[in-house]
Amino acid sequence: MIRINEQYLKLQTSYLFADIKKRMTDFQERYPGREMIKLGIGDVTRGLPRACVEAMQSAVAEMADEDTFRGYGPEQGYAFLREKIAGHEYQARGVGIEADEIFVSDGAKCDTGNFQEILAGDAVVALPDPVYPVYLDANVMAGRAGTFADGRYTGIVYLDCTEANNFMPDLPGEQVDIIYLCFPNNPTGAMIDKEGLRKWVDFARKHKALILYDAAYEIFIQDPDLPRSIFEVEGAGECAVEFRSYSKTAGFTGTRCAYTVVPKDCRAFTSRGEPVSLHDLWLRRQSTKFNGASYPVQRAAEAVYTPAGQEQIKERIEYYLANAQLLKQSMESLGFQCAGGLHSPYIWINGRRDAWDFFDLLLHEAGVVCTPGVGFGSCGQGYIRLSAFNTRENVRKAVDRIQDALA
C-alpha cells in the first residue's frame, strides 16, 4: 500500500497566497465588473530592465545557432554570473565571498524551502513570528514541527516580533539548531543593524547553530551603514547561509533567478560532533536535484551588473519605495500604526481588528487586496501587510479608495 508523507497533513489549510488568490477569484466572480488593486503578494509590476531584456534576447539568439548553443549548464550556475555576483555584491563591499561559494538557482523561495533537507530531521528550528510561510511549511513537511495546537506547532521555537520589540526577534532562550532570519523583513519591513546581526552570529557560533539568512530584499536598504549581507559580520561565514534573489531586485518574479551563498567554512555536524562542509553537501544536493537556471536568464541576471542595468534597477527600486511612502503616509494619516516601508517594499499595519476581517473590508469596500498578517503567524493577528509593488497610478487610486472606505 502506497502511503503518503503524513507530515503534509499537518500543514495548515492551503499556502497563504493561494488562499488570497481564491478569495480574489470569488470576489471577481461575484462582482465581475469591479476592478481590484493588488497590494497583496509582493509581485513586481514594472517591466524587466532594458539591459536585462537585451542580454536575454542575444542569449536566446545564441541558443538558436549550433555554434553557440548551450545545453545543460553547470549546476552551480555559469561562472560569468557567479563571478559578477561575488565581485559586485560582496567583494566590492569588502566581504570575502568567492564565486565558487555562490549557487545560482531559479528562486529564493525554493532555496529557502529546500536548504533544510541537508540538515538533521530532528534539528530544532527557531523562526520569527510573523514569518514568510515557506520556512515554516518546509519544516512541517520535513517532520520537524511537531503537532499543531492553539495556532502554533509544538516543535518550533517561535521568536515573537511585536510592536513591543520593534518587530526585532529576541535571541532564543534555549538551544536551537536552525535559525531563520530575514532582513529587510518580510512581512514587517523591519531592518536590523550590524550590532543586532552580530548578536545572532555570536549566538549561532556559541550554540553551533546555523542561520539561514534571507536577504531577498537587501536592494531596498537605503542607509549605507546597515548591513546588506550577514557576511559583513565577522565569523558569519562559519555559521550562516545567505539567500538572495533577482525577483524584487530586477523584476524577475516571472523570469526566475536567485542565488544562495554557502561559504566554504560553513559547517554543520554529524551526530558524533564531526564538522561537515555544508557547501559540499549543498553542491551534492543541487547537482542531484537541480539542473540550473536557464542560460538566457543567467545572461539577463548578469546584465544587472552593467552600468545601464544598475541605473535601471535603481530607478525601479526608488519607484517602489516612493509607492511605499505614499501608502505608509496615507495609512498613518488614517490613524494606523505602521512599520516598514523605509528599507522595504512592505508596510506592516496594525489594523486593530481581526486580520482577515480587515482583508475582507479592504477587498469589498475599497477593491484593494492586502495580505492578512495572521497568514504569517499568530503575532500577525490584527495586522495587514500592504505591498508597494504596483503602478503609481494604482497606488494613488488604492490610497483614495481606502480613505473613502475607512472614513
- 372 in contact with ligand MLT (CB under 6 A): no
Q: Of the two residues 22 and 199, which places its CB atom closer to ligand MLT in the complex?
A: 22
SS3 241: strand
Among 186, 188, 229, 330, binds ligand MLT (CB under 6 A): 186
Q: How far is the CB of 398 from ligand MLT (least distance, A)?
A: 16
All residues at 6 or more sequence positions from 254 whose CB lies less than 8 Å from its CB, including other chains: none
Return the closest-CA partner of residue 237 out of 265, 214, 211: 265
- Name the one range near ligand MLT by CB under 6 A: 5-13, 39-47, 50-58, 272-280: 39-47
Which range of residues in 37-45, 110-118, 149-157, 234-242 is near ligand MLT by CB under 6 A? 37-45
Helical ranges in 64-132 per DSSP H:
79-84, 108-114
Q: Which residue is nearest to ligand MLT (CB)?
A: 42
Cβ nearer to ligand MLT, comparing 44 with 331? 44
Shortest approach of ligand MLT to residue 291 CB, angstroms?
Answer: 21
Q: Considering beta carbons, is residue 59 or 370 the nearer one to ligand MLT? A: 370
SS3 191: coil
Closer by beta carbon to ligand MLT, 278 or else 388: 388
Question: Does 42 sit near ligand MLT (CB under 6 A)?
Answer: yes
Query: How many amino acids of this chain bind ligand MLT (CB under 6 A)?
Result: 6
Give the span between the Cα atoms of 343 and 346, in whole angstroms. Answer: 9
Determine phi and psi for 198, rounding to 5 degrees.
-60, -35
Nearby residues of 201 by Cβ (< 8 Å), 6 or more positions away: 211, 230, 233, 234, 235, 236, 239, 240
Binding ligand MLT by CB under 6 A: which of 24, 36, 41, 60? 41
Question: Which regions of 125-250 does DSSP assign to beta strands (E)?
Answer: 125-129, 148-149, 152-153, 156-160, 178-182, 210-214, 240-245
Site for ligand MLT contains 390 (CB under 6 A): no
Q: Shortest approach of ligand MLT to residue 109 CB, angstroms?
A: 4
Stretch that binds ligand MLT, among 40-48, 113-121, 263-271, 305-313 (CB under 6 A): 40-48
Contacts with 244 (C-beta within 8 Å, 6 or more apart), sequence order: 89, 108, 215, 216, 218, 258, 259, 260, 261
Q: What angle do CA 225, 231, 237 make, to 5 degrees?
A: 160
Is 109 a binding residue for ligand MLT by CB under 6 A? The answer is yes
In the complex, which residues of this chain contact ligand MLT (CB under 6 A)? 41-43, 109, 132, 186
